[in-house]
Copies of this chain bind each other. A is one copy, B any other.
Amino acid sequence: MASNDDVADPGSPMVRKLRYLAPLTEAELALLQRACTNTIRIEADQDIVQEGSRPKECTLLLEGFACRYHLLPDGRRQILSFQFPGDFIDSHSLVLPEMDHSLAAITPCTVSTVPHAVMNEITAHHPRIARALWKETMIDASVFRQRITSLGRRNAYQRVAHLMCEVFVRLQAVGLARGMAVDWPMTQTEISDALGLSVVHVNRTLQALRRAGLITLIEAQLMILDWEGLAEAGGFDERYLHLRGN
């Protein structure tokens, strides 16, 4: 096994993600990695997939942060979820012909596209891979459900705290946390679009979280000073992310 570090190489975010999604063989892992050689660079704030389109390939996020969103008739935006490296951000189009939401890059992103024909071939012959993708869809749905609960029943302070916990745990799971710190490239406008709040109120809520000594957020770096406190504030329980136990 290749290792390019002092400790055993834990693998790229994609490999890490697949590892907790399903117990795949080395051959299956290699097959997927070979399928993902065609990479594309996407600028920040550009769409990766658009609502109403009918993609002919699946998209995997290799580097950078992205988001799913709906556009409303009046031009407002609802961000549905944030997506991180290792996420199969568009297995959607493999199963449903038309996109019902858009995907956009928050930071510059590197994505890999795999033609549907190739994916269909792979999933048909490797039921464990198909199962892994289905499982990822299920976990995504679980994340959506938590967001529903946040928007329906949690106040601004709780929503922001919960989102920070979620982002931290998900990034940590793919090896993108440095201690208690993670990249946080999302602007306050993006947070507000994700949590159904106004920018002004997000700003005040962030200040409240800082004042409470739970976090610092400087230069797009989120540092969690008090994990227990933040999780408590957000009513966060990581079990819905299904990171443990296959």
Contact = CB atoms under 8 A, between A and B. Distances in A.
Interface of A: 68, 70, 72-73, 76, 78, 80, 92, 95-98, 100-101, 123-124, 127, 130-131, 133-135, 137-142, 144-149, 151-153, 193-196, 235, 239-240, 242, 245-246
B141 A196 contact: no
Contacts of A130: 127, 130, 134
Given A95-B131, A141-B141, A100 B239 contact: yes
A71 B127 CA distance: 35
Contact of A148 (B140, B151, B245): B151
A134 B151 CA distance: 26
A115 to B, nearest CB: 17
A51 to B, nearest CB: 9
Contacts of A194: 152
Given A100-B242, A147-B148, A151-B152, 18 more contacts: A70-B146, A78-B148, A78-B152, A80-B149, A92-B138, A96-B242, A97-B242, A97-B245, A97-B246, A101-B142, A124-B127, A127-B127, A130-B130, A130-B134, A137-B141, A140-B141, A152-B195, A153-B196
Taken together, the copies of this chain in the complex come to 2
Binding site of A, secondary structure by majority: helix, strand, loop or mixed? helix
B145 A101 contact: yes
A65 to B, nearest CB: 18
6 contacts: A95-B134, A98-B239, A137-B137, A137-B138, A137-B141, A144-B144
A76 B153 contact: yes
A72 B137 contact: no
The 8 closest A-B pairs by CB, nearest first: A152-B196, A151-B151, A144-B144, A100-B240, A141-B141, A78-B149, A78-B152, A70-B149
A72 B237 CA distance: 11
A95 B138 CA distance: 8
A144 B137 contact: no
B100 A145 contact: yes
A239 B53 CA distance: 12
A246 B98 CA distance: 10
A8 B97 CA distance: 29
A103 B101 CA distance: 27
A127 B130 CA distance: 9
